[in-house]
Structure 1
Amino acid sequence: MLKLKIEKVAHGGVFIARHDSKVVFVSGAIPGELVEAKVVQDTKSFLRAETVEVLEESEHRVKHFWKAALKGAGGAEFGHIELSYQRVLKTQVLQEVLSRMAGIESEVVVEAAPGDQENQGLRYRTRVQLNVDESGTAGPSKIRTNEIVFTRDLPLAVKEIEELGLHLKNFNGVDKIKIAASNTGNSQWLIDKKVNGDKQLIERVAGRTFRLSPGSFWQAHVKGPELLTACVSEFAKLLNLDPQKQNLDLYSGAGLFSATLSAQFDGAKFLAIESSKQAIADGERSSHDLDNLRFHQADVLKFLRSQTAATFDTIILDPPRSGAANKVVEQLIRLSPRNMIYVACDPVALARDLRTLGDAGYQVMAMRAFDIFPHTHHFETVVALAR
């Protein structure tokens, strides 16, 4: 047990304190607090600890909204922090990593999604995964373990998901359950790979309809797709996307961004690149009215390596949490598009890639960040780049 003074927030949903010569990453704390914490990991370079008792409490501390999180369930590691201050901390993380890793001094602020402040950041998740233990109990896993936490409620999920009551049933012999609800009223749940409920999810975004197969990726926040699409569209207009040249949508999924821009920029040619055969099928099914959008199934890196330099006007990329990776960024630089719009769900990976792109002559023209994962440390950032 250690008595620790919490200094600041760190990326990853933990907070920094110091003990002797080591950094201590503390969960369940808030900057400025004095806490008693239990060490759960001891390495040569750092300690990891969990708050047991708060000795001097921050003015931003609130009662946690979810009993399961108090038992260790993941997915709400910021639930003890007042909602608006969560965004302050996320802003600090984003600005710090941009400065330290990319040399970018930015005043970007993490914005709330519409309605979240009024709803206390609850009832926003349209996608939920429950893991199942050997006894058949379904629920969230404890942080950094495979242990399942039983919960009677799912306060972050939209009501339609909680009212299905799947988290209250026994699923002996099942590995995991994936539940989804669309903004048009569909609901679907996969018990392992068996599909239940609606066979297809229909989502409406920016006046367009997207028809999704079971298990297809979609932004979890009920307002997330609309919010991110509006931002990407705003940045495309800012960058003066050339309607006469070819544009790319990398890691496109079902074509959320490219379908919207194809409809908004009359005649602009878009090619959506995605490795998932299922996502490609969803995208083609949802964009049959767009003659200027094509889908191509391929690994992004392999596709970029096959292309001729100076072919593309604007490239949109929405890579996984690990970022675009060095080899992909190298190919982007080689192809030398006039513009890029980078959608990122991890600020550290983003800052790493922005440093490389900046060294190659790309400048940040605009940046916005959105808190579409309230009560967690995650958020999304959208960056417009031009050369």
Structure 2
Amino acid sequence: MQAEPRKSLVGEEYEVEVGPVAHGGHCIARTSEGQVLFVRHALPGERVVARVTEGEQGARFLRADAVTVLDASKDRIDEPCPFAGPGRCGGCDWQHAKPGAQRRLKADVIAEQLQHLAGLTPEEAGWDGTVLPAEGDKVPAGQVPAWRTRVQYAVTADGRAGLRRHRSHEVEPIDHCMIAAEGVSELGIEKRAWTGMDSVEAIAATGSQDRQVILTPKPGARLPLVELDRPVSVLRVDERSGGVHRVHGRPFVRERADGRTHRVGNGGFWQVHPKAADTLVTAVMQGLLPRKGDMALDLYCGVGLFAGALADRVGDQGAVLGIESGKRAVEDARHNLADFDRVRIEQGKVESVLPRTGIEEVDLIVLDPPRAGAGRKTVEHLASLGARRIAYVACDPAALARDLGYFRDGGYRVRTLRAFDLFPMTHHVECVAILEPATKGL
């Protein structure tokens, strides 16, 4: 006998007191019956009417939007962007909060994840509890820093560019993205038709005039003739293989950081905030304090940002090994670091390649893993190498906290942690943790 289908609660409304912020761009509330709600567009301490957007009777929690604010927080402002708000563009989580409040919310999330997943207080993590704005991003309430140098636009059936709604494939057509960097906005992606395209990604490199558009066509569609207001290279995503191919112009952009130019090919990964790469390199190098002659690892090394910074500082008697899974990123890293004789870049997954190297001891380690983190097995291997210091760069506080717990089990403690608001208006935050052997100085 089949169970009765659960009743959908989408559209139901509840008047609730909003509780603490949670990881993911929402706050936690409970209905009078005790049902947990994850509420977007709300702030802690507010009283709101929350409308359910996902969930069914008996679910562990429901997702909801605050559609009416009955008692507002002192940190609330009107969303500067006309496309933000319940049911609209899902790109920004905190448009309704003052800039300083956004950073406090992110700090609360980091602190909660550290405590919950690693058993660490801010003091035990060497963290002062603040999230620092990037240079130039400390703007008054009601203003929005234009920082995003890479924007992926979705395309409606009639060819209009827009952005996805939260947890949806539906497209919110827009005529301007307020957080898009000037170099992206000047391409005018929103002002022309993209008939037959599934998505259009716009890239404006930092420190160069390189601009790039990457087109993902719908099956069977022909590419449009791309004539924009300024020189731009055009790439396309193959609908079958997912590979990225040049249509015209360069297949790469040149990004500038740490006094070096880095080639980033075929839409490869680079930090999206124009100040992010330099901010993170500075934090990592200040934490590691490389010495001449050091042996260092750069894991998940991308196009070689940290490997190049390490090579500069360890000198001709030092050595750096980078490991990266992406084939094109490895090609770019080898190109970018070709003038360093003692830098080697290996392709493959870190957990597979590192054991094959035979390396049993290193001085320094940098790891900048994907959002899921490095994981227990990789952390255990790294902890066995006896590094003097380890720098962990993390874009997800939960993954960072889990891995810090694994490092503690492997005999490492957190010396310092710094947090940077490199994604204003969103819930995302970047952290740099510096670890050292727990026995140091004992």
Q: TM-score, normalised by structure 1?
A: 0.95
Q: Identify the match of residue 257 of structure 2 among 196, 202, 205.
A: 205
Contact 1:242–1:313 (CA under 8 A) maintained in structure 2: no
Distance 1:200 1:44, change over 3 A: closer
Q: Tell me whether 1:99 sits opposite 2:115 in the alignment.
A: yes
**How many Å apart are 1:248 and its aligned residue?**
0.8
Q: Which amino acid aligns with 1:137?
A: R
Distance 1:341 1:277 in 2: 24
| Bigger mean CA deviation after superposition, 217-226 or 266-275 | 266-275
Could you say what secondary structure the match of 1:180 adopts? strand
Could you say what secondary structure the match of 1:382 adopts? strand
> Partner of 1:28 in structure 2?
41
> Partner of 1:109 in structure 2?
130
> Partner of 1:4 in structure 2?
16
Contact 1:309–1:336 (CA under 8 A) maintained in structure 2: no
Q: For structure 1, list consecutive stretches of 5 or more residues without a partner in the other structure.
A: none
| Bigger mean CA deviation after superposition, 316-325 or 116-125 | 116-125
| Bigger mean CA deviation after superposition, 144-153 or 304-313 | 304-313
Could you say what secondary structure the match of 1:96 adopts? helix
Contact 2:365–2:387 (CA under 8 A) maintained in structure 1: yes
Q: Identify the match of residue 265 of structure 1 among 307, 314, 326.
A: 314
Q: Which whole-Å deviations, capped at 9, do the CAs of 1:146-188 have from their partners, x for residues lacking one?
A: 0111001111011221121112222222121111111212111
Q: Which whole-Å deviations, capped at 9, do the CAs of 1:86-120 have from their partners, x for residues lacking one?
A: 00110011111111211111133211100001374
Q: Identify the match of residue 358 of structure 1 among 361, 386, 408.
A: 408
Could you say what secondary structure the match of 2:84 adopts? helix
Contact 2:417–2:431 (CA under 8 A) maintained in structure 1: yes
| 1:81-100 aligned within 5 A | 81-100=97-116
Q: TM-score, normalised by structure 2?
A: 0.83
Q: Which amino acid aligns with 2:254?
A: I
Distance 2:180 2:383 in 1: 40
| 1:273-284 aligned within 5 A | 273-284=323-334
Aligned length in residues: 384
| 1:294-333 aligned within 5 A | 294-308=344-358, 310-333=360-383
**How many Å apart are 1:200 and its aligned residue?**
3.0
> Partner of 1:215 in structure 2?
267
Q: Which whole-Å deviations, capped at 9, do the CAs of 1:238-275 have from their partners, x for residues lacking one?
A: xxx45434311011000101101211222321011111
| Bigger mean CA deviation after superposition, 113-122 or 102-111 | 113-122
Contact 2:296–2:310 (CA under 8 A) maintained in structure 1: no
| 1:52-201 aligned within 5 A | 52-70=67-85, 71-106=87-122, 107-118=128-139, 120-183=143-206, 184-192=208-216, 193-194=235-236, 195=246, 198-201=250-253
Q: Which whole-Å deviations, capped at 9, do the CAs of 1:283-310 have from their partners, x for residues lacking one?
A: 1212222122221111111012324463
Distance 1:264 1:337, change over 3 A: closer
Contact 1:15–1:29 (CA under 8 A) maintained in structure 2: yes
**How many Å apart are 1:336 and its aligned residue?**
4.1
**How many Å apart are 1:121 and its aligned residue?**
4.1
> Partner of 2:229 in structure 1?
none
Q: Which amino acid aligns with 2:149?
A: T
| Bigger mean CA deviation after superposition, 73-82 or 297-306 | 297-306
| 1:35-54 aligned within 5 A | 35-42=48-55, 43-54=58-69
Distance 1:24 1:52 in 2: 14
Q: Which whole-Å deviations, capped at 9, do the CAs of 1:311-334 have from their partners, x for residues lacking one?
A: 222111100111112332232234
Q: Which amino acid aligns with 2:202?
A: I
Distance 2:144 2:158 in 1: 32
Contact 2:252–2:267 (CA under 8 A) maintained in structure 1: no
Q: Which amino acid aligns with 2:75?
A: H
Distance 2:249 2:47 in 1: 49
Contact 1:138–1:171 (CA under 8 A) maintained in structure 2: yes
Q: Tell me whether 1:252 sits opposite 2:301 in the alignment.
A: yes
Q: Which amino acid aligns with 1:8?
A: P
Q: Identify the match of residue 383 of structure 1 among 411, 430, 433.
A: 433
> Partner of 1:287 in structure 2?
337
Q: What root-mean-square deviation, in Å, do the aligned CA atoms of Structure 1 and Structure 2 show?
A: 1.7
Contact 2:153–2:199 (CA under 8 A) maintained in structure 1: yes
Could you say what secondary structure the match of 1:263 adopts? helix
Q: Which amino acid aligns with 1:46?
A: F
Distance 2:351 2:180 in 1: 35
Q: Identify the match of residue 14 of structure 1 among 11, 26, 29.
A: 26
**How many Å apart are 1:68 and its aligned residue?**
1.6
Contact 2:412–2:435 (CA under 8 A) maintained in structure 1: yes
Distance 1:84 1:96 in 2: 19
Distance 1:257 1:121 in 2: 30
Q: For structure 2, list consecutive stretches of 5 or more residues without a partner in the other structure.
A: 1-12, 123-127, 217-234, 237-245, 438-442
Distance 1:264 1:293 in 2: 12
| Bigger mean CA deviation after superposition, 276-285 or 166-175 | 166-175
Distance 1:108 1:287 in 2: 36
Q: Tell me whether 1:229 sits opposite 2:281 in the alignment.
A: yes
